[in-house]
Amino acid sequence: MRRIATLALLLLLPLAGLANGPWTGDWITSWRDDGDHLVLQQEGDRVTGSYPLYGGRIEAVAEGRTLQGSWTQGNESGRFLFVMDRDGASFTGRYDEGEWWTGSRTNGPPASTGLNQSTPRDAFRQFTVGANLARGGRSDAWALAISAVDFSGLAAGLGRLEHLRLVQELFALMDLTTFRISAIPRATGAASVPVELDQAGSDVQLRLNLLRGEDGLWRLAMPDAAARDAARRQLLVLKGGRFPPADAYRQMRNPRDAMRSFLEGMADWQGGGRALALAALDLSAVPEVLREGEGAMVAQFLRRALDHIGLIGLQSIPNDGADRAPYIHFSHPDGSIVIAPAGPEAEAPWRFTAQTVRDAARIFNAVESLPPPLATPPGLIPPARFFELRSLAKAHAPALLGRIGQTEYWQILVGLLVMGTATLVGTFGARLARRAIDWMVGGEESGASFTWALGIVIGISLAAFFPDLVGMPEHLRRYSLPFFGICLTLAAGVVAWRVFGAAGVILARISSRSATATDDILFTLLLATARLLVVLAGFLSVAHFLSIPTGGIIAGLGIGGLAFAFASRETLSNVFGAGILVTDRPFQRGDWISSGEIEGAVEHVGIRSTRVRTAQDSVMVVPNGKLSDSTINNLGSRRLRLLKTTLPVTGGANPQALESFIQALRQRIREDEVFVAERTDIGLSGITEGGIGVDVITYMKVASAAAERETRHEFLLDAVHLAEACGLTLGQGMLPAGEKPA
């Protein structure tokens, strides 16, 4: 039961922390010329807090997203107003006479933790750590660096803003050198300690002094302007006389730049730094399909390992890219952290080696139990659900951290829970979807294959977050991801194929009810094209999961496509012909067409051929290419149908009777709205031995051949009755215009 409760707690992790007040937490704040780490605690509407670097405290009252109160710093005090943003991650505010004061949430401790100035080494460490933290995004840490500097050798009366500028200038010079904190004495009876910082790749040194103040604390003496200018000129010779651009480190030309790129990329993981952090890792040994997910997991393990190992300052890492020897940052029997050039080229970037990538999880496990170091690398560690779950397991069920190989028990339990849930949801979801589709098409069109395929798609899609959630090792992902990825691809292909089939049934039903120009010709072509794209996407997806470069496949298709097009030019002609028939719209389904030897009603237009049902009730299959290149007479598209016939009068003919008969026919046509009376012509066509011919030429407003036959039948039957009423006898047959009666 305890393990079940622990698993439930792991799954309820996102709900943690909701009981605290919205202002409770750690904030990195900034104001006009400085900043600090602000720690707030809310109880009801009362909020208290402190910013330790300045010894400041605040007391305030919260009202929704607004916080108003007073600040106290030594002998100074004032009022402030904060307004929290809607996401709860930052606030905007001002203090006293309108000066701005802003902040954002942080999970990191105050920058002053564990630092002091009791010895020369401690003071130098505080300056180095503070400056590195500040450059890495913790602007409040500049105050930490400033407090470790002695400005007594400069002109009196310098303000805080000028102190900040000088500290930043001095740190920029120190960043051009390489040094180790261990070279600074820890204890000495002298009042000052000289420090010489060497520049890698040259014999230039930056000379500084550490001084003990009257309060017994050590500080780094700020060089005067002349000394700073001289040092700047000497140190920048290797850089062409000027400081590198602010983002030059992103090119990773040396081990220090690689480490800084990785740390700053991790600190800005959610804001675009992810790509920078992953670029600092040599992922060439990881299959391409795994690089994004595995790279992110490796980065998390490596960043946390570096935090446990500790780092006094980036300046302890070499910044001389000309020396191509690998830099070993940490070594352990379970693995080493090594930064090396990514290739033999002189301009090849430096990266954490492929072996470091493979060993990252083992290195983290090896150093996890180390006590907190004196200083950690600059930059925050991005949150990761895997480590949050692992922390809960460690706190509430440490036995679950036992391992089978490199896999911990809690990972196996959570994995089984996730996979079981995904299977159940996939099974029931697929059945519901099948019933819905069958209802829409009016029958069981989807089939059993659709059910199991959709179940696989739903199940694998729901379980897709599982490897990152439990930190599945790369050696397992190497095989599991291609397997499940190919299964997902095949299942998705079956689902798409079935869905398109059901869509075809529905669209055909809509087309049959439509009286507009839209019919199933366009639908058929689109569905066939969609199915072709499904097949192509399936091939590319399988290639992706097998880490086969899809660019090469596409290029190969382009080259091979020429040969294929030449070999199957007739088939391609028919395919393009289908596109022409859809674009030009020469006929619709059901139209009676005539084109050379082809005559009949259009039944179906496919991607390759068109089926035409002839007058003999046979089906003629016509290639689309041939049909699109032919002259098509579409009798089904007529707006009016012609009725042209000759009525042969064979008995009782006299002028009065004939005239009465003709007038009766005209009256019959005028009274029937199906006929176009204004386009009607009735008169005698000729006198022969067999009788007198009466020509009737008119037009009918009918939309189909069946309606045309029915209207013609009714008219001719009425003509016989009208002739009898006029005393005339019609012949046994009706003659086409111009033909002699029998």
- What is the full DSSP assignment across 522-576? HHHHHHHHHHHHHHHHHHHHHHHHTT--HHHHHHHHHHHHHHHHHHTHHHHHHHH
Alpha helix (H) residue ranges in 225-290: 225-235, 255-267, 274-279
Angstrom CA distances, 307 to 27, 108, 304, stand at: 21, 12, 5
* Distance of alpha carbon 503 from alpha carbon 354, whole angstroms: 49
* Contact (Cβ atoms closer than 8 angstroms) between residue 6 and residue 400: yes
Q: Which two tokens stand for residue 646?
A: 């000759």
CB atoms near residue 378 (< 10 Å): 24
Angstrom CA distances, 674 to 318, 368, 668, 710, 714, stand at: 97, 93, 11, 11, 11
Query: What does pLDDT average to over the chain?
Result: 81
Closest CA to 88 of 103, 101, 72: 103
Question: In the beta sheet, which residues pair with residue 150?
Answer: 221
* Contact (Cβ atoms closer than 8 angstroms) between residue 600 and residue 593: yes
21-106 matches 638-730 in fold: no
* Distance of alpha carbon 166 from alpha carbon 674, whole angstroms: 99
Q: What is residue 570's predicted lDDT score, i.e. its pLDDT?
A: 58
Angstrom CA distances, 122 to 177, 501, 603, stand at: 19, 74, 90
Please report which helix (H) or strand (E) contains residue 469, including its range: helix 466-470
21-106 maps to which CATH number?
2.40.160.90
Closest CA to 122 of 326, 367, 375: 375
* Distance of alpha carbon 170 from alpha carbon 222, whole angstroms: 8
* Contact (Cβ atoms closer than 8 angstroms) between residue 51 and residue 37: yes
Q: Which amino acid is at 434?
A: R
* Distance of alpha carbon 122 from alpha carbon 109, whole angstroms: 19
* Distance of alpha carbon 377 from alpha carbon 265, whole angstroms: 13
Q: Which two tokens stand for residue 22?
A: 């919205």
| Beta strands at 149-150 and 218-221: parallel, antiparallel or unpaired | parallel
115-143 tens-digit pLDDT: 788 999 999 999 999 999 888 878 778 88
Q: What is the DSSP letter of 373?
A: P
- Neighbour-count burial for 539-565, b at 16+ CB within 10 Å, e otherwise: eebbbbbeeeeeeeeeeeeeeeeeeee
**Which residues in the chain land under pLDDT 50?**
1-19, 515-518, 559-560, 562-568, 733-742
* Distance of alpha carbon 635 from alpha carbon 433, whole angstroms: 44
669-677, long-range: CB within 8 Å, 24+ apart, which pairs? 669/698, 669/715, 672/715, 673/701, 674/700, 674/701, 674/702, 674/711, 675/643, 675/699, 675/700, 675/701, 675/715, 676/640, 676/700, 676/701
CA atoms within 13 A on the CB side of 519: 20
82-104 tens-digit pLDDT: 999 988 889 999 998 778 999 98
pTM, entire model: 0.65
Which residues are within 8 A (CB) of 672 and not within 5 positions of it... i.e. 6 or more apart? 715
Find where tokens 């400085």 sit: 34
Q: What is residue 581's predicted lDDT score, i.e. its pLDDT?
A: 64
* Distance of alpha carbon 454 from alpha carbon 247, whole angstroms: 48
Q: What is residue 235's predicted lDDT score, i.e. its pLDDT?
A: 93
* Distance of alpha carbon 427 from alpha carbon 457, whole angstroms: 10
Tell me which fold the domain 638-730 belongs to.
Alpha-Beta Plaits (3.30.70)
* Contact (Cβ atoms closer than 8 angstroms) between residue 698 and residue 681: yes
- Structural domain boundaries in the chain: 21-106, 120-235, 248-382, 410-556, 570-635, 638-730
Q: Let me know the angle formed at the C-alpha of 698 by 692 and 700, rounded to the nearest 5 degrees.
A: 140
Instruction: Tell how far CA 251 is from the center of its chain.
Output: 26
Q: What is residue 34's predicted lDDT score, i.e. its pLDDT?
A: 72
Assigned architecture for domain 570-635? Roll (2.30)
62-86 tens-digit pLDDT: 998 999 999 998 788 999 999 999 8
* Distance of alpha carbon 28 from alpha carbon 91, whole angstroms: 10
* Distance of alpha carbon 435 from alpha carbon 736, whole angstroms: 59
Q: What is residue 582's predicted lDDT score, i.e. its pLDDT?
A: 60
Q: Which two tokens stand for residue 169?
A: 């200038």
Phi, psi (rounded to 5 degrees) for 164: -60, -45
Q: What is residue 522's predicted lDDT score, i.e. its pLDDT?
A: 64
Q: What is residue 575's predicted lDDT score, i.e. its pLDDT?
A: 61
Closest CA to 47 of 86, 21, 26: 21
Closest CA to 133 of 329, 313, 269: 313
Q: Let me know the angle formed at the C-alpha of 253 by 249 and 254, rounded to the nearest 5 degrees.
A: 95
* Contact (Cβ atoms closer than 8 angstroms) between residue 63 and residue 47: no
Which residues are within 8 A (CB) of 250 and not within 5 positions of it... i.e. 6 or more apart? 257, 261, 276
Q: What is residue 294's predicted lDDT score, i.e. its pLDDT?
A: 87
Alpha helix (H) residue ranges in 568-650: 569-584, 624-628
* Contact (Cβ atoms closer than 8 angstroms) between residue 200 and residue 178: yes
* Distance of alpha carbon 344 from alpha carbon 322, whole angstroms: 12
458-491 tens-digit pLDDT: 877 777 766 666 666 666 666 676 777 788 788 7
* Contact (Cβ atoms closer than 8 angstroms) between residue 244 and residue 226: no
CA atoms within 13 A on the CB side of 484: 21
* Distance of alpha carbon 468 from alpha carbon 632, whole angstroms: 62
Helix (H, G, I), strand (E, B) or coil at 37: strand
Q: What is the DSSP letter of 4?
A: H
Question: In the beta sheet, which residues pair with residue 293?
Answer: none
Question: In the beta sheet, which residues pair with residue 80?
Answer: 69, 95
* Contact (Cβ atoms closer than 8 angstroms) between residue 706 and residue 641: no
Q: Which two tokens stand for residue 481?
A: 């991801």
